[in-house]
Structure 1
Amino acid sequence: MLVVEDLHVSYGAIAAVKGISLKVKPGEIVALVGSNGAGKSTTLRTISGLIRPKSGSVVFEGKNLVGVPGHKVVGAGITQSPEGRRIFPKMTVHENLELGAFLRNDKAEIEADLDRVLELFPRLKERISQKAGTMSGGEQQMLAVGRALMGRPHLLLLDEPSMGLAPVLVDLIFDTIRTIRDQGTTVMVVEQNALAALRIGDYAYVLETGQVKTEGLARDLLNDPEVINAYLGG
């Protein structure tokens, strides 16, 4: 489904991503874990078309997306819930969700997807007419994920979905990510919370200073002494 090969991304003279290669197969949850500054979010933003790489390829369903603008990447079947949520605070929950479907014109299917999102996140249904900026951080994170789902993606990118959330909400968000995958959407999740990501992931890549330090089945990395010591609290 997605093949990233030898990706290099720089911010001016600073190399943020140094030759990352990774794959995402249909039906998987793939986790990118690592400390702050490891290059996780930059990798995701490059896949989304928000950053143009210095070199390397991003091939999705047979098409190289390097140089393709972000809105066309969405049209190709990739949507993202960004780091920091970035919901539209002065718009209602319903308006935010509608914007997630801005490239679509299949009204009946959009309504069906809206129903699906509200079933996944009942809290959003309760607050459907509320201004998004007045909601809690956890509710805004649900909205950001729901908005991304409204694009009906083949691949859903989630950037730090647990950031700033209470533990009970972290569990809820990650349980919902599993459900999204079980309903047929492939997921790639970037997380500093390595334990939570590895618990739900099928495959995982550990990034360090812009490179893949190790990779493997997520359940195997949960028991890897080096990963445990570096990212899972020893």
Structure 2
Amino acid sequence: MSTTTEQAAPPARGGGKEPVLELRGISVSYGSITAVRDLSLEVYPGEIVTLIGSNGAGKSTTLRTISGLLRPRTGDVVFEGNSITGVPGHEVVKRGICHSPEGRKIFQRMTVSENLDLGAFTRKDKEKIAEDRENVLELFPRLRERIDQKAGTMSGGEQQMLAVARALLGNPRVLLLDEPSMGLAPVLVDVIFETIERIRQQGVTVLLVEQNALAALEIADYAYVLESGTLSLQGPAAQLLDDPSVTAAYLGGH
């Protein structure tokens, strides 16, 4: 994909604020295979930033590295100005980054209520937890209807709602979403993306990995394109929507 086209410089991101999350030249390997190579990106407070690319591009690896599930071979993960490289996953959650993983990873034999309780496992602020729990049940009314149901008996869309709601119970300042629309009917995809916008409106910054590039670019402020673990293109999401190379590779040529 060519990145040599001269383009006017976009407006400065962040309104003068520092990035809330930065990756500084991270490389991540599985044994001898490099999954992500020298990746740098920035996420500013209040943004929806999307990371798009084909299967195997390194998108999920990037999120897993941010959330402390993987450690980069080189480079640094910086959150609110402090390095969190090598910080254990549960501590990353405590600091304010929560991850809704690819494949949902809900606890299928537990009820919806119990899954939500586990989302808040690092917290002690009972009143705020109760407030946040009520908030996610307003975001996802279906979960209120299913509150005592075993999570594994729900539909795929309901399970995805639960995975996002559980992550929100961690009280994140940055929410990592990995393929939230995967396997869902189109009407539920619309619901999920509308909810992501509402989550941002409530003050949560979102880093979104999504194969539905069109839907992701339509709600995102800024986008990064990964190819074979390497950053190939970046820019305002609206600009990438009009980029012929992005259109051809990820938007079905439309």
Shorter-normalised TM range: over 0.9
Number of residue pairs matched?
Answer: 234
Specify the alignment match of 1:28 in structure 2: 47
Specify the alignment match of 2:149 in structure 1: 130
1:47 is matched by which residue type in structure 2? Answer: I
Runs of 5+ unmatched residues, structure 1: none
Runs of 5+ unmatched residues, structure 2: 1-19
Give the Cα–Cα distance (whole angstroms) in 1 for the partners of residues 100 and 22 of structure 2: 20
Specify the alignment match of 1:193 in structure 2: 212
Specify the alignment match of 1:221 in structure 2: 240
Q: Where does 1:1-234 land on structure 2 (aligned, <5 Å)?
A: 1-234=20-253
Q: CA deviation at 1:153?
A: 0.3
User: For 1:152, what is the secondary structure of its paired residue?
Assistant: coil
TM-score normalized with structure 1 length: 0.99
Q: Render the CA deviation track for 1:90-146: whole Å, top value 9, x for unaligned.
A: 100000001000011111110000000000000000000000000000000000000
* Bigger relative contact order (CA 8 A; separation at least 6): 1
User: For 1:180, what is the secondary structure of its paired residue?
Assistant: helix
1:159 is matched by which residue type in structure 2? Answer: D
User: For 2:200, what is the secondary structure of its paired residue?
Assistant: helix
1:132 is matched by which residue type in structure 2? Answer: A
Give the Cα–Cα distance (whole angstroms) in 1 for the partners of residues 193 and 206 of structure 2: 11
Runs (4+) of structure 1 moved beyond 3 Å?
none
Give the Cα–Cα distance (whole angstroms) in 2 for the partners of residues 107 and 68 of structure 1: 25
Give the Cα–Cα distance (whole angstroms) in 2 for the partners of residues 16 and 63 of structure 1: 24
Q: CA deviation at 1:67?
A: 0.8
Give the Cα–Cα distance (whole angstroms) in 2 for the partners of residues 140 and 114 of structure 1: 16
Q: Render the CA deviation track for 1:74-101: whole Å, top value 9, x for unaligned.
A: 0110000000000000100000001000
Q: Which has the larger radius of gyration?
A: 2
2:178 is matched by which residue type in structure 1? Answer: D
Q: CA deviation at 1:73?
A: 0.4
Q: CA deviation at 1:230?
A: 0.5
1:102 is matched by which residue type in structure 2? Answer: F
Q: CA deviation at 1:12?
A: 0.4
Give the Cα–Cα distance (whole angstroms) in 2 for the partners of residues 170 and 125 of structure 1: 20
1:161 is matched by which residue type in structure 2? Answer: P
1:150 is matched by which residue type in structure 2? Answer: L
Give the Cα–Cα distance (whole angstroms) in 2 for the partners of residues 145 and 43 of structure 1: 18
Q: CA deviation at 1:62?
A: 1.2
Q: CA deviation at 1:152?
A: 0.4
1:142 is matched by which residue type in structure 2? Answer: M
Q: CA deviation at 1:63?
A: 1.1
